[in-house]
Chains A and B, each alone.
Chain A
Amino acid sequence: MARLRMNQAIGRALADAMDEDPTVVVFGEDVAAAGGVFKTSVGLLEAFGPDRVRDTPISEMAIVGAAVGAAMGGLRPVAEIMFADFFGVALDQVVTQGALVHYLTRGAVTVPMVVRSSVGAGRGFAATHSRTVEEWFLSAPGLKLVEVSGARTAYGLLRAAIREDGPVVVLEPRALYGSREEFEPGEDAVLALGRAEVRRPGDEATVVAVGQTVGIADRAIEELGASVELIDLLSLRPWDVDTVLESVARTGRLALVEEHPFTGGWGPDVASRVGQELFGDLAAPILRITAPDVPVPFARELEFRYLPSVEYVASQLRTWLDTGKLPAPWWADIREGV
């Protein structure tokens, strides 16, 4: 068993994959000599040499484009985009190029690339460096999308993503890089893409969470003391419809805990699908606990108010469980968006 920080687990996954498969290469801004700005690739340059571990210029389009091409050419590149907000300059290479190559070559060319990126608020990086922009990828045919929730899932999903023959975007909540988890790295720790995990069983309600909200939801449920099932969605495209439906069919209630603002993100797809499939079988409306529809603010107090906190999630869940009605969000009385 190893007790690793999430950034160490990512480095370990990269090293194990590179050990296993000589076609795995890693590149991105300051990932080589410095081991990554979040220390997710420490030691790789020394272990695998400058051919397979490379620092790039600040050129996100070139980074992703080179990953697409390298994958077409027979490597399994793992490229890093430091902050997911930066996909705003490189989205084309992910969704319009990389994700479509296999389709537009009728299967003659595969693109086994992984693009890792950090997401989310909680570290004081402010409005342009704190979003979780999953909706930019959610609808992209040909692409898979996962978001990890700690050291173990970061290891397991990254290794699975590297083995995948198509392009995968791996989102890593940057607030969790320093958090530790005990697990045994190696073959048995490799997870399957497309599968959710039940993190705690329960029968009064089902909570689905993603990324850093998994831990928040877990603590909130703990605090609540109710029998609530917690599902870590892990894969956002495709998401594990079966696991979620099975759980909600049993509990009769669904709440989502999302870091994303109320509009958009992964939540509406899950809520709308479950609402369709379990129409008439739900005991309460689907509760979405989200951030407000505003840019991520810098000031610490504001940023942690913006993010759903343990207390807020617990209080939302409590009202909803007690009344069967949707509680108002904390910002309901503040005139929004002005």
Chain B
Amino acid sequence: MKVNVLFFASLKEDLGVSEIELDVSMLAGRSELLSALKNELGTECVAPVLEENVSIAINRRIEKGDFALKDGDEIAFLPPITGG
């Protein structure tokens, strides 16, 4: 199934891409997602995404634990946020 992956701010700059489509299996969790990402972008390239201070949002909601993806989910990698 297909999921959409978004990168913001410094991640978008580091990876040189703001959005990719990934093919993952039904109910794929965090580790399968990251594996698919490594395959797609290359292990070296993906390092910034794996940093501890990067959050993952599924359909615009931060997910701190594991998750089970569904077809059409929107996954976003968010570097540290700050507004105001």
- The answer on A and B forming one complex is no
Residues of B within 8 A of A (CB): none
